[in-house]
Every structure is written in structure tokens, then in C-alpha cells.
């Protein structure tokens, strides 16, 4: 009987040890979990005075976007996010002009990262000239629908993005972009990199043989340094390869050079960007089978890269600064643009706020 009690006692002791160990393990796991309410707010004013240029309309983009996303994080590397991205244009009679789902998985390692799903463009780390995306396009298209694979270390970064922004249907063309961007420093003040985009602009469900292929590559080299002012000077080459299979499949190969200069201090800056080369938007006015021009639906770049004079210059002066550990970003800029014939202008005011307070952590205890 004594041996039986001893065995029972040993079993109880081992069970208690096992339960305590399990509870400690669960506690450690719980302490590595976090629940956040990420909130991105953007106020955007972009007014263009392009009348007479033939390179875009005079118009005003003026509105706000709000993206509340509930994000669950574990092990400080993995996250699941779900929420909405809402947009309201000032003066519109609608309650909301656009509302889209945000839903993604993100992995953030020391050097490697990945995002999959529908996520805000702020999660991208690549560098893309306005020959790829204009300021207006980015303000009106804040979500990536697809996948981003990323690498970064002390000397540079690399990124691959697949963005599926058009579904094959009766209402929309099948359309997607593959983006590549990489950059590295090879001496203290010098850097070099390249960006590339492959756009597939295909058919709707009610017509065929109307596919456009659009490739652009932009290698560049630059220096950034401080000499009382902060300087950034970058020289790049732009090469495009485009064809409209509806128009007989003739390849267009426009190319050009781009020189960017920026000087800043205390948030005040002056910048100049000059492009010299061929029209990078040769198919802008081509008409598709639906009876409308391709236009901005094909080209997300600034319309002045469609110059027919061989030159485009943009000079900007303004104020741009981050506050509160980069959670608040403000920008105000006045820009003069020319195609070598006349001057045109653009005014930009933007405010971006990013908040990510913890809601719950450490075994579901609410944070202060």
C-alpha cells in the first residue's frame, strides 16, 4: 500500500510540474502577442494648372482617406491585419467615394520581409521615380493587391512587388504590374540602384486581342551628403519598351536621361528634376476596343513624361518634415513645370498621420 501511495504521489508531482511548465509556456507565448489598432489618415490637396500643355488636364484632387486596421501580431515577426480603406473627396455628394477591404499577412524579420493580401503602399520600401507613379496616382490608389517580398540591411534594400489592379470581367480589364527595386551604398556618400516595372494591360471579358505590354527600367547613381544643407543628387537613365498588340504589335522604345537635385534644411527644400529624351507615353492617345483612349489607365506616371519636345523640367520649393517619431508627416510644395515652351504649375499640400496603439497584450490585459 505504501508503494501505491508513493507511485500516486510521484504521478501527482509530475502532473503538477507538467501543468506548471505548460502554463509558463502559454504565459510566455501570450506575452509575445499584441493587438494593435493601426490608423492611417491622409489629407491630400493636389492642384494642377496644365491648360494648353496637351499633357494632362487642369484639375484638383482634394480629399481625405482613413484606414483603420485591426492588427494581431505574434513573436514580433508575424502579423495579420484586417480593416478598410475609405476615401472622401471634398465637395462630393456621396457619403464615401470609395471603400476597400484591407486584409493581409506580414512577416518582418531582421533582414527579410513579406506582405501578402490587400495592404497600404506605405509597406513598400522601393524607390520609384515619377516616371513610374505620379503624386496624384499614389494619392488615389493607396492599396497594393498582391504580394511584396523584401530584403534590407545596413547598406541597401531590394524589393519585388506583384500588384493585381484589374480583374478580367465585363467592367474591367485584366491588369497587373510587377515591380522591382533595389539600392545599395558602395562608399559613404554614394549609392546606386535600379527600378523596373512590367505592366500587363489586357482584355475585358467582352473583347480579345487588345493587350498592351509596357516595360520600364530606371538604373541610377547618386550622392547624398550634408554641407550645412542636406544634398541629394541623382542621375538616372530611363528605358521603356511598349507595344499594343491591337495596333500590329510594333515595339516602341523611348528612352531618356533624368537628373534630380534636392537641397534642404529645417524642412525647407528646393528641388529640380530634368528629363531629356523621348515621349515615354507613346500609346497614351491610342483607342482600345471599348472605344476610349488608354490614357491614365495605362500610364500611372506624371503626364509630363509624355513630352513631345524632348524635355521636361520640374522645379519645386516647399516644406516637408516629420514629427513625433515620423508618425506625422507634413508637406507643402509649389512646383513649376515646363516642356520647353510654356510654364505650368502645381500646388501640393499633404498631411499623413500614422497611429498604432496597442489595444491588448500580455495575456489579454488592456494597455493604458
85 and 20 share one domain:
no
8 and 121 share one domain:
no
114 and 74 share one domain:
yes
pLDDT digit string (tens) for 120-154? 999 999 999 999 999 999 999 999 999 999 999 98
Asked whether 213 and 187 are in contact (CB, 8 A), the reply is no
66 and 84 share one domain:
yes
The confidence score (pLDDT) of residue 16 equals 47
Closest CA to 124 of 51, 141, 267, 11: 141
CA-based end-to-end distance of the chain: 56
pLDDT digit string (tens) for 284-305? 999 988 888 999 899 999 999 9
pLDDT digit string (tens) for 4-18? 445 545 654 554 454
The confidence score (pLDDT) of residue 368 equals 32
78 and 11 share one domain:
no
Rounded CA-CA distance 67/87 in Å is 9
Give Rg (Cα) of the chain: 26
347 and 253 share one domain:
yes
Instruction: Give the Cβ contact number of residue 313 at 10 Å.
Output: 18
185 and 261 share one domain:
yes
Contacts 24+ apart (CB under 8 A), 245-251: 245/209, 245/210, 245/211, 245/212, 245/213, 246/209, 246/210, 246/211, 246/212, 246/286, 246/288, 246/289, 247/286
3 and 41 share one domain:
no
168 and 20 share one domain:
no
List the Cα angle 348/135/329 in 5-degree steps.
60
Say how many domains are in the chain: 2
271 and 335 share one domain:
yes
The confidence score (pLDDT) of residue 358 equals 57
Domain that holds residue 23: 1-31
For residues 65-78, average pLDDT: 93
Rounded CA-CA distance 237/194 in Å is 9
Question: For the domain that residue 125 is a member of, what is the CATH number?
Answer: 2.40.160.100
249 and 302 share one domain:
yes
17 and 70 share one domain:
no
Give whichever of 52-56, 142-146, 165-169, 320-324 has the largest mean pLDDT: 142-146
Rounded CA-CA distance 102/115 in Å is 12
Amino acid at each position: 500500500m505504501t508503494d501505491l501511495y508513493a507511485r500516486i504521489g510521484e504521478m501527482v508531482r509530475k502532473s503538477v510540474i507538467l501543468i506548471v511548465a505548460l502554463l509558463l509556456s502559454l504565459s510566455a507565448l501570450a506575452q509575445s502577442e499584441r493587438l494593435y489598432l493601426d490608423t492611417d489618415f491622409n489629407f491630400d490637396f493636389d492642384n494642377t494648372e496644365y491648360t494648353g500643355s496637351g499633357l494632362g488636364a487642369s484639375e484638383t484632387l482634394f480629399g481625405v482617406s482613413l484606414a483603420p486596421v485591426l492588427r494581431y501580431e505574434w513573436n514580433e515577426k508575424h502579423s495579420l491585419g484586417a480593416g478598410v480603406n475609405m476615401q472622401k473627396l471634398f465637395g462630393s455628394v456621396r457619403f464615401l467615394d470609395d471603400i476597400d477591404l484591407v486584409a493581409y499577412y506580414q512577416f518582418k524579420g531582421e533582414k527579410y520581409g513579406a506582405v501578402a493580401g490587400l495592404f497600404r503602399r506605405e509597406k513598400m520600401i522601393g524607390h520609384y521615380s515619377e516616371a513610374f507613379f505620379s503624386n496624384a496616382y499614389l494619392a488615389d490608389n493607396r492599396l497594393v493587391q498582391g504580394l511584396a517580398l523584401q530584403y534590407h540591411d545596413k547598406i541597401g534594400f531590394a524589393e519585388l512587388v506583384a500588384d493585381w489592379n484589374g480583374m478580367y470581367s465585363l467592367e474591367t480589364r485584366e491588369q497587373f504590374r510587377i515591380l522591382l527595386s533595389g539600392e545599395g551604398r558602395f562608399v559613404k556618400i554614394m549609392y546606386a540602384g535600379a527600378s523596373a516595372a512590367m505592366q500587363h494591360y489586357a482584355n475585358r471579358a467582352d473583347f480579345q486581342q487588345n493587350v498592351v505590354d509596357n516595360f520600364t527600367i530606371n538604373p541610377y547613381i547618386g550622392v547624398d551628403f550634408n554641407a550645412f544643407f542636406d544634398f541629394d543628387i541623382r542621375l538616372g537613365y530611363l528605358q521603356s519598351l511598349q507595344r499594343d498588340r491591337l495596333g500590329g504589335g510594333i515595339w516602341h522604345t523611348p528612352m531618356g536621361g533624368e537628373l534630380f537635385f534636392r537641397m534642404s534644411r529645417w524642412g525647407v527644400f528646393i528641388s529640380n528634376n530634368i528629363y531629356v529624351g523621348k515621349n515615354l507615353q507613346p500609346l497614351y492617345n491610342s483607342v482600345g476596343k471599348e472605344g476610349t483612349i488608354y490614357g491614365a489607365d495605362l500610364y500611372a506616371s506624371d503626364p509630363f513624361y509624355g513630352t513631345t519636345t524632348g524635355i521636361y523640367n520640374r522645379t519645386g520649393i516647399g516644406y516637408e518634415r516629420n514629427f513625433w517619431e515620423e508618425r506625422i508627416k507634413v508637406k507643402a510644395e509649389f512646383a513649376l513645370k515646363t516642356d520647353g515652351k510654356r510654364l505650368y504649375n502645381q500646388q501640393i499640400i499633404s498631411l499623413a498621420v500614422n497611429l498604432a496603439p496597442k489595444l491588448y497584450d500580455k495575456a489579454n490585459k488592456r494597455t493604458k
